[in-house]
Chains A and B, each alone.
Chain A
């Protein structure tokens, strides 16, 4: 089954000191993605500003599947 890694920047206002709540947030995003896409998604929380920004032609998906 296909698996997708999604890196998501954590908004400062969503940050909490509580690890359980942070993990719950990550899992909630995973579930929100899985249902409409029907693809398993692993969400990785990253720091704000660390993901590449729009540079002309958008390239937001990297397909690493081997056929």
Chain B
């Protein structure tokens, strides 16, 4: 499929030492750059964390954070449109398991009246093909603008 690119969502991953004020620094950068944080989490390492964020202007956020010395990377994820009802996640994971797609990590949030499941997988293009091929829908990058 030639339109894989529009389904590859740019998540920001930021290395952060585990000490007071680091999240504040990142939040200040986003405020100053007028970037809206749509979702974020902190994955805990050993004495450090990785802040993962979805934002409305990823390039602007990247530029601001790196210019202030943060170690930042784009991580490509896919955003699956989910029905907000029991069993939706199970049905999706059955399909992914059958397709042999391993999930590195995932997170979800309600986007009333539906829900969104963000997936980080090793082979993102194969995951896009499998999810679309199963009749499901993905949010494209415009959803996060």
Query: Which single member of A17, A26, A46, A47 contacts B50 (CB below 8 Å)?
Result: A17
B52 adjacent to A46 (CB under 8 Å): no
In this complex, the interface size class of chain B, counting residues with CB under 8 Å from chain A, is: 10 to 19
Query: Which single member of B17, B73, B104 contacts A46 (CB below 8 Å)?
Result: B17
Q: How many A-B pairs fall under 8 Å by CB? A: 44
- Binding stretch for chain A, among B40-48, B84-92, B107-115, B132-140: B40-48
Question: Quick one: CB contact mask for A21-63 with B, threshold 8 Å, 1 for yes?
Answer: 0110010000000000000000011111110000000000000
Query: Would you call A4 an interface residue if the criterion is a C-beta within 8 Å of the partner chain's C-beta atoms?
Result: no
Q: How far is the CB of A46 from chain B (nearest CB, A)?
A: 6
Residues of chain B in range 45-73 having any CB-CB distance to chain A below 8 Å = 45-48, 50, 52, 69-71, 73
In this complex, the interface size class of chain A, counting residues with CB under 8 Å from chain B, is: 10 to 19
Besides A26-B46, A47-B17, 11 other CB < 8 A contacts? A16-B73, A17-B13, A17-B52, A17-B75, A19-B43, A44-B47, A45-B15, A45-B17, A45-B48, A48-B69, A48-B71
Instruction: Jot down 29 A-B pairs with beta carbons below 8 A, ordered by A.
Output: A12-B71, A15-B15, A15-B71, A15-B73, A16-B73, A17-B50, A17-B75, A17-B120, A18-B104, A19-B43, A19-B45, A19-B50, A22-B48, A22-B50, A26-B46, A44-B47, A45-B15, A45-B17, A45-B45, A45-B47, A45-B48, A46-B17, A46-B48, A47-B15, A47-B16, A47-B70, A47-B71, A48-B71, A49-B69
